[in-house]
Amino acid sequence: MERFGSRSLQTYSLQRKINIQPVQNSKMKYKKGFYENFSKEELILRDHLAIDRTTLSNESTFLAYIRTSLALMAGGGTLFHFFAEIYIQILGISLVILGISVLILGYRRFRKMDKEIKKIKRV
């Protein structure tokens, strides 16, 4: 089959038929979420349970970030405290800094997803 850029000609013609525009910029914001098309009364039990599962999954992921962060900081603190070589102490300090950055990243991702979930619950 003849190629059209990185997509096949068949995919390109299918997109033209159903009028899908390829995304040019990955930072483009979406207009509406899926659940925003429905009122709260139209959501069925399955939808409410899916939202609850997503909330629990988000919290579990945040706890995994905390666990990873604590492990990195504990390992870095151990290297810094028990070894006298300067390169190992530098490695320990860098692990502590990496642990703090993982904690900050995890918290930011948790808050971002939490806002999205709360926006769905308000619909």
Looking at residue 106, its pLDDT comes to 97
Query: Is residue 71 domain-resident?
Result: yes
Note the pLDDT of residue 24.
53
9 occurs within a structural domain: no
11-25 tens-digit pLDDT: 444 444 444 454 555
Q: Is residue 15 part of a domain?
A: no
Whether 34 is covered by a domain: the verdict is no
Q: Which residue has the tokens 């910029």?
A: 25
Give the span between the Cα atoms of 35 and 41, in whole angstroms. Answer: 12
**How do residues 31-85 score in pLDDT, each as one tens digit?**
555 555 556 666 777 877 888 898 999 999 999 999 999 999 999 999 999 999 9
Is 74 inside any structural domain? yes
**Cβ contact 35:118 at 8 Å:** no
Question: How many domains, in total, are found in the chain?
Answer: 1
Identify the CA nearest to 73 among candidates 101, 54, 52, 47.
101
∠ CA 41-116-50 to the nearest 5 degrees? 55
Q: Output the pTM of the full model.
A: 0.64
